[in-house]
Amino acid sequence: MIKRTLLGSLLLAAALGAAAQQPIYQDPTQPLEKRVDDALSRMTTAEKIAVIHAQSKFCSAGVPRLGIPELWMTDGPHGIRPEVLWDEWDQAGWSNDSCTAFPALTCLAATWNPDMSTLYGRSIGEEARYRGKDVLLGPGVNIYRTPLGGRNFEYMGEDPYLSSRMVVPYIQGVQQNGVAACVKHFALNNQEAYRNQYNAQLDDRALYEIYLPAFHAAVTEGHAWAIMPAYNLYERQHLAENKRLLNDILRGEWKFDGVAISDWGAVHNTPRTVTQGVDMEFGTATDGLRAGAKNAYDSYYLAQPYLKLIQEGVFSTKELDEKVRRVLRLGFRTAMNYAKPMGSMNSPEHSAAARRIGDEGIVLLKNDGNLLPLNLENHPNILVVGENAIKMMTVGGGSSSLKARYEISPLEGLKQRIGTQGQVSYVRGYVGDVGGSYNGVHSGQDLSDSRTPEQLQAEAVEAATKADYVIFVGGLNKADHQDCEGTDRLSLALPYGQDKLISALAKANHHLVVVNISGNAVAMPWVKEVPAIMQGWYLGSETGHALADVLTGDVNPSGHLPFTFPQSLNDVGAHRLGEYPGRATELERMKQPGHQGDTLDVRYNEGIFVGYRFADKERITPLFPFGHGLSYTTFVFSRPTVSQSTMTADGSLTVRLTVTNTGQRTGEEVVQLYISDKKSALPRPIKELKGFRKVRLDPGKSQEVSFTIDRTALSYFDDQAHQWVAEPGDFEALVGASAADIRGKVKFALQ
């Protein structure tokens, strides 16, 4: 195979040699905007209309007359979706469209390591490029507002700063392959319940401080080439046709020059979309919008209805030209990028990347008595219990469902790792979701079991009494009302009677490890009964290997939570102060005949106090705090210092401390910097994350960690003045290992 760098050089050389005979738009040596202008000037109005809407499930038309190719989209953000038929969701039946399944983005965020984000983006971008895709529909960076959110597993947690730092390298990694990252879902997509109907109501402080920063970073730092508005509404306009977010903020304040691509079926109105909406419209219905049309895609809002309005003089081609200009810009960056690499698919490097990200993202929540790592010296009898130990998790959950080339289950991974060092046995324990199909992809598993819950529990308890270790692998799955697009969870509790089973196992064996597989926090009424608890996430193809790495101590756990685990829903601002999933009276109204399609107002009454900000404000002790993560070694932080006691308005200062590994193992610690404004004109959180570093240290070794901060780290958004404000006065820098584990503080002032 020709090396891709050589191939790119050959293609570029050929292009350069033919430049003299080519139109400007075909000449890669010409500036991008000049090429866009030239191509636009050669297109007819009908051709312009054709490129701004779908022509199949996942592609838009090109301009064959001009040699401008189609643009192909693919779902992500955890792997490349299998091929479907031209205008149906049924599988195309390819034998070579399986992929590497990477860990869910909650796991990536839990690494607290931007290097892992770069690795993730580059790897998944290589798979997209190899499959001929131009746009990867991901990553997702919506804020984790409630632990019931069905799509939280696709996002990066509750904190805007953490999400911002993790999304930028992901985008850069994807786009270095000539594949556009399409950041989603812009914005305020914080619940799946009534996702096409709910209208988010919140003040500008919450909008700018909590819900927009990750998108802002994606656009202004990551330079994302595409963005996808959400299904829901804001200011009573659907996000795909929302003037405030798309025109005023995205294209106005942030100067976004990429393409706004609709979510499938998210456009509702032609005139609004023309003047203030998306640039490209895609749809879900297999017959477009109007059954019986010769080409149903021509009936989309940005298709013939738009062309008809131009022909009638309602619109000029001004708005159309701007949309096409952005689509052409995307095409030159992707499909017509002659220097793009070839990419690769299912390579050993991608498997290694998936495993490494999983290793770094797994979070050790509790480890009383140093039960973990497993001691294999005496050939232990290890009992594995739970459906999630054998259930494939790459299939299902919505648009992120994958056709993985392989998936190592937790049970298989443990058996492979332990081998002859111990005996690994398995019992079911409970029955949950026995299926494994989504859009024609089948896991091949039939997990049906006719035994009663009582019989299953009795078998597990009896086996537990004879084991040296019991590893319970449970949690959620990707069925409806769990971690799944389109539905939210119905409760914080674990489903399928798992709580009762875990308590029974804890009584039967004191060497119990609970591995929770989920993309959301869950209630743990048994938390004091269980000595060791691990958050396992959805880890993709290398699930079993990554879990075995950490359980056995081959890898020291270094993941930290990207969101708070509350003790109850009443400890979450969206539930105590908000109206999730809406006000009770309005929810009741929407159940009445004739009102099912009404708009539902959802008031974000908690404002800026989301996650740990709310817990701090209300003095709530969470089950496990934001940023929490244990290790098999120990770390000591020195007292932090600042480079100067006073910072000028246009200057900066440096916070320094030393971290020492005082344990017996090499390990990584996440040093977290929070800033506290001691007095402000507007209410502010007690502290806010403004920096973090992941440090790897051998036993006995130390390293200095420094953070440079300027006024942006001290600012809040003044919604009356519509600007960021850093008030002069006293501040405090806090360093710690979680939002609740602050190891040191140092004061300073802003002039």
Active site residues: 263
Q: Measured between alpha carbons, how far is 240 from 277 in angstroms, rounded to an integer? A: 5
Beta-strand pair 667-677/729-738:
antiparallel
Inter-CA distances, 185 with 140, 159, 230, Å:
6, 16, 5
Number of H helices, E strands in the chain: 19, 29
DSSP bridge pairs for 677: 731
User: 640: cis peptide before it, omega within 30°?
Assistant: no
Helix 114-130, helix 348-361: angle, nearest 10: 150
Q: Measured between alpha carbons, how far is 153 from 144 in angstroms, rounded to an integer? A: 9
Beta-strand pair 381-385/469-475:
parallel
- DSSP for 550-564 reads HHHTSS------SS-
Residues 6 or more apart from 312 whose CB is under 8 A from it?
A: none
**720 alpha-carbon distance from chain centroid:** 32
Q: Is 605 helix (H, G, I), strand (E, B) or coil?
A: coil
Q: Measured between alpha carbons, how far is 578 from 509 in angstroms, rounded to an integer? A: 41
Q: Measured between alpha carbons, how far is 364 from 358 in angstroms, rounded to an integer? A: 13
Q: Measured between alpha carbons, how far is 507 from 530 in angstroms, rounded to an integer? A: 9
DSSP-derived letter for residue 639 is P
Inter-CA distances, 140 with 80, 146, 152, 362, 648, Å:
15, 16, 9, 20, 36
Q: Measured between alpha carbons, how far is 52 from 415 in angstroms, rounded to an integer? A: 51
Contact 106, 519 (CB under 8 A): yes
Beta strands in 162-214 (DSSP E): 180-186, 198-201
Indicate the Cα dihedral angle 568, 573, 575, 577, nearest 10°. Answer: 130
Q: Measured between alpha carbons, how far is 532 from 545 in angstroms, rounded to an integer? A: 19
Q: Is 5 helix (H, G, I), strand (E, B) or coil?
A: helix
Contact 200, 190 (CB under 8 A): yes
Identify which of 654, 646, 633, 651 has the alpha carbon closest to the alpha carbon of residue 704: 654
Contact 367, 532 (CB under 8 A): yes
Q: Measured between alpha carbons, how far is 689 from 109 in angstroms, rounded to an integer? A: 14
Stated as kind and residue range, the H or E segment containing 661 is: strand 652-661
* Angle (nearest 5°) at CA 179 between 176 and 184: 110
In angstroms, the first-to-last Cα distance of the chain is 61
Helix 543-552, helix 410-418: angle, nearest 10: 50
